[in-house]
């Protein structure tokens, strides 16, 4: 039986949820690859994790740049030969520009979708051959309750009045992509799920958010380390299946 460590690639992992996800996976003995657009910040994140006894490596990776994605995949294939866990964590929400269905510009939609959806798809498609080399591949797509059409349509929902149309629709699309990818990979050892981290104290969530980062990554970490009998094709928050 192979004793090689599991390899986890996390996009947007130099800070916030991505960094804490790497930390929590790393403490389980998983080798974590810190995907980051900024090489300096990626190296700083790796240095911090290394001091904590975690095996981590910086990976230059801009999810909006196919050449960067391809180069990262080539590098990882040569150095590690596989990816056991792929966490599509990178995402953006432009509060200043994502102002409502009548005012959010097409430019803003395109910019948000470029990272939140198209970048996620590009990374997944490029790295899927490496995930298929894992004995038990796991793909986790960071979504949000704001991507739930059911929640947005329910007057009793806590998010009923929240309107960030570019971000919301990008995450709804992530949910659909997650479901379709899981169906495509049905019958394989790969599990694909979407994660709602919660409203977390990050640069995106703000200091008024009720959840700490250490708790906000629990859903992603759980889905990244699911046992063989675990679910696939779902949309989860802290073990609860969300309404699509």
Give 74's contacts (C-beta < 8 A, 6+ positions apart).
none
Question: CA angle 139-142-148, nearest 5°?
Answer: 120
Burial 78-91 (b: 16+ CB within 10 A, else e): eebebbbbbbbbbb
* Catalytic center residues: 167
Tokens of 198: 């919660």
Alpha carbon distance 233, 190 (integer Å)? 10
Q: Is 57 helix (H, G, I), strand (E, B) or coil?
A: strand
């Amino acid at each position: 039986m192979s004793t090689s460590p599991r390899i986890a690639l996390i996009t947007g992992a130099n800070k916030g949820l991505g960094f804490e996800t790497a930390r929590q996976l790393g403490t389980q003995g998983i080798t974590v690859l810190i995907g980051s657009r900024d090489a300096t910040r990626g190296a700083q994140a790796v240095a911090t994790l290394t001091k904590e006894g975690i095996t981590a490596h910086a990976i230059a990776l801009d999810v909006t740049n196919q050449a960067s994605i391809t180069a990262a995949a080539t590098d990882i294939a040569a150095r590690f030969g596989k990816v056991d866990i792929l966490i599509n964590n990178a995402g953006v929400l432009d509060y200043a520009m994502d102002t409502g269905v009548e005012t959010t510009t097409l430019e803003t939609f395109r910019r948000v979708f470029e990272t939140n959806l198209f970048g996620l798809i590009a990374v997944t498609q490029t790295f899927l051959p490496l995930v298929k080399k894992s004995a038990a591949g796991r793909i986790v797509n960071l979504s949000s309750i704001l991507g739930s059409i059911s929640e947005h349509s329910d007057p009793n929902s806590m998010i009923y009045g929240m309107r960030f149309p570019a971000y919301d629709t990008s995450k709804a699309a992530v949910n659909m992509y997650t479901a379709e990818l899981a169906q495509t990979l049905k019958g394989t050892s790969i599990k694909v799920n979407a994660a709602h981290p919660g409203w977390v104290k990050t640069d995106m969530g703000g200091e008024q958010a009720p959840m700490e980062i250490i708790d906000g990554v629990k859903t992603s970490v759980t889905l990244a380390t699911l046992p063989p009998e675990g679910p696939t094709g779902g949309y989860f928050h802290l073990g609860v299946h969300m309404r699509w």
